[in-house]
């Protein structure tokens, strides 16, 4: 058995994965494989907390798995699978529904945002979403969870659930998982509005660079990205108050794997047309191998399904003894 600490993370199969997901999450996941035993899930059960078109859900589930692989997740050493294939997630989530308190869930800011004004019409699944997320992590006794800043509150809830379960049943079954915060995720903003996060749900496709975009489309989106009339500053401080300029420089730094200060130094005083040309070239060079591999993989859904099935079998084997311990602790009779 591996002695490396165990990571669990996941992304929802809703819409396309974009540059923010790649720089903020998936690229990091690839790197974490060196030091952790990694379980990377496509969280389809989380996706259905809001309405989904069934055919689109299946397509997006395979596509997100393809993105993990294309970016460099190694499905032989890491585990890649979709959540619905491993029943332990839903089973443990039910038990956690009975551990978590209404008061805890009422404090979740993401529910308030996602439910919006029409709260009465939100699904009950959306409300208990964080309990399922806790089950995802704790079914494997994972100790480290790479997530963006926006998910930190959910990891804290998972810790509260782990702690209360251990205390209520007098066991030491669950570790308290730690968030591994991926700062970049929060910093990749919309290409149309530098104050809004780059998002799959933005109605304008021009606001984001998808991992499925062709080089021509990437070039077009960067050319049309909102900027201000000034040239690039020669210090990082000079970016303050310039959301769009900050965003494009941040994206360049992310893609080049450099510090923002180094990028500012390189382009000090340049106008945006020069900078955008360099950014376009860099984005295409960096993303082309990934998008090409994604296209190759999504053309062969049988292969992706094989990877997901194999990952699910290995995930089931890891979760089974944990669920057995949980059933025993609670007093549920199972085989």
117 is catalytic: no
For ligand TRP, the closer of residues 149 and 277 by Cβ is 149
- Per CB under 6 A, which of residues 133..172 are in contact with ligand TRP? 133, 136-137, 145, 147, 151
As a whole number of angstroms, the distance between CA 311 and CA 69 comes to 12
For ligand TRP, the closer of residues 8 and 81 by Cβ is 8
Question: Does the protein bind ligand TRP through residue 8 (CB under 6 A)?
Answer: yes
As a whole number of angstroms, the distance between CA 169 and CA 328 comes to 10
Contact region for ligand TRP (CB under 6 A) — 2-10, 15-23, 268-276, 288-296? 2-10
Cα dihedral across residues 144, 145, 147, 151: positive or negative: negative
Of 164, 200, 266, 328, catalytic: 200
Answer whether 150's CB lies under 8 Å from 184's CB: no
For ligand TRP, the closer of residues 126 and 133 by Cβ is 133
- Per CB under 6 A, which of residues 265..304 are in contact with ligand TRP? none
- Per CB under 6 A, which of residues 114..133 are in contact with ligand TRP? 133
Question: Does the protein bind ligand TRP through residue 75 (CB under 6 A)?
Answer: no
As a whole number of angstroms, the distance between CA 254 and CA 236 comes to 15
Question: Does the protein bind ligand TRP through residue 47 (CB under 6 A)?
Answer: no
Of 114, 164, 266, 328, catalytic: 114
As a whole number of angstroms, the distance between CA 131 and CA 298 comes to 31
3-state secondary structure 211-238: CCCCHHHHHHHHHHCCCCCCCCCCCHHH
Contact region for ligand TRP (CB under 6 A) — 9-17, 32-40, 209-217, 308-316? 9-17
As a whole number of angstroms, the distance between CA 213 and CA 205 comes to 10
Question: Does the protein bind ligand TRP through residue 174 (CB under 6 A)?
Answer: no
For ligand TRP, the closer of residues 100 and 137 by Cβ is 137
Kindly tell me the number of DSSP H helices and DSSP E strands found in the chain.
15, 5
User: Phi then psi for 39, rounded to 5 degrees?
Assistant: -120, 115
Q: How far is the CB of 311 from ligand TRP (least distance, A)?
A: 15
Say how many residues touch ligand TRP, by CB under 6 A.
12
Answer whether 201's CB lies under 8 Å from 193's CB: no
Question: Does the protein bind ligand TRP through residue 43 (CB under 6 A)?
Answer: yes
Token readout for 103 is 């008061």
Among 12, 131, 247, 250, binds ligand TRP (CB under 6 A): 12
For ligand TRP, the closer of residues 158 and 225 by Cβ is 158
Nearest to 29 by CA among 45, 19, 40: 40
Q: Where are the beta strands (DSSP E) in the chain?
A: 6-11, 37-42, 79-82, 144-147, 178-181
As a whole number of angstroms, the distance between CA 128 and CA 46 comes to 10
Of 117, 196, 197, 328, catalytic: 197
Contact region for ligand TRP (CB under 6 A) — 5-13, 16-24, 236-244, 286-294? 5-13
Mask for 216-255, x = binds ligand TRP (CB under 6 A) = ----------------------------------------
Residues that bind ligand TRP (CB under 6 A): 8-10, 12, 43, 46, 133, 136-137, 145, 147, 151
Give the catalytic positions in this structure.
114, 197, 200
């Amino acid at each position: 058995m591996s002695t490396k600490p165990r990571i669990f993370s996941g992304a929802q199969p809703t819409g396309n994965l974009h540059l923010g997901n790649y720089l903020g999450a998936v690229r990091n996941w690839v790197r974490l494989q060196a030091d952790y035993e990694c379980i990377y899930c496509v969280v389809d059960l989380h996706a259905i907390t809001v309405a989904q078109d069934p055919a689109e859900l299946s397509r997006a589930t395979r596509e997100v798995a393809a993105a993990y692989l294309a970016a460099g997740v190694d499905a032989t050493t890491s585990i890649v699978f979709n959540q619905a294939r491993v029943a332990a997630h839903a089973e443990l989530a039910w038990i956690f529904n009975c551990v978590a308190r209404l008061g805890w869930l009422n404090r979740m800011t993401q529910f308030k945002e996602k439910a919006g004004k029409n709260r009465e019409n939100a699904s009950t699944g959306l409300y208990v979403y964080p309990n399922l997320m806790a089950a995802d992590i704790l079914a494997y006794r994972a100790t480290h969870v790479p997530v963006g800043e926006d998910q930190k509150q959910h990891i804290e809830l998972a810790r509260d659930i782990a702690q209360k379960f251990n205390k209520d049943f007098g066991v030491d079954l669950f570790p308290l998982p730690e968030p591994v915060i991926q700062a970049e995720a929060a910093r990749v903003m919309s290409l149309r509005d530098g104050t809004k996060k780059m998002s799959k749900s933005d109605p304008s496709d021009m606001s984001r660079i998808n991992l499925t975009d062709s080089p021509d489309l990437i070039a077009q989106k960067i050319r049309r990205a909102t900027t201000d009339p000034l040239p690039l500053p020669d210090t990082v401080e000079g970016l303050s108050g310039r959301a769009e300029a900050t965003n494009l420089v941040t994206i360049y730094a992310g893609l080049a794997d450099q510090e923002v200060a180094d990028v500012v130094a390189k382009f000090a005083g340049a106008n945006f047309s020069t900078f955008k040309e360099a950014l376009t070239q860099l984005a295409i060079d960096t993303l082309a191998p990934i998008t090409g591999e994604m296209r190759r993989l999504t053309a062969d859904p049988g292969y992706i399904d094989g990877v997901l099935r194999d990952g699910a079998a290995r995930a089931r084997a890891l979760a089974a003894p944990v669920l057995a311990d949980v059933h025993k602790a609670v007093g549920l009779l199972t085989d």
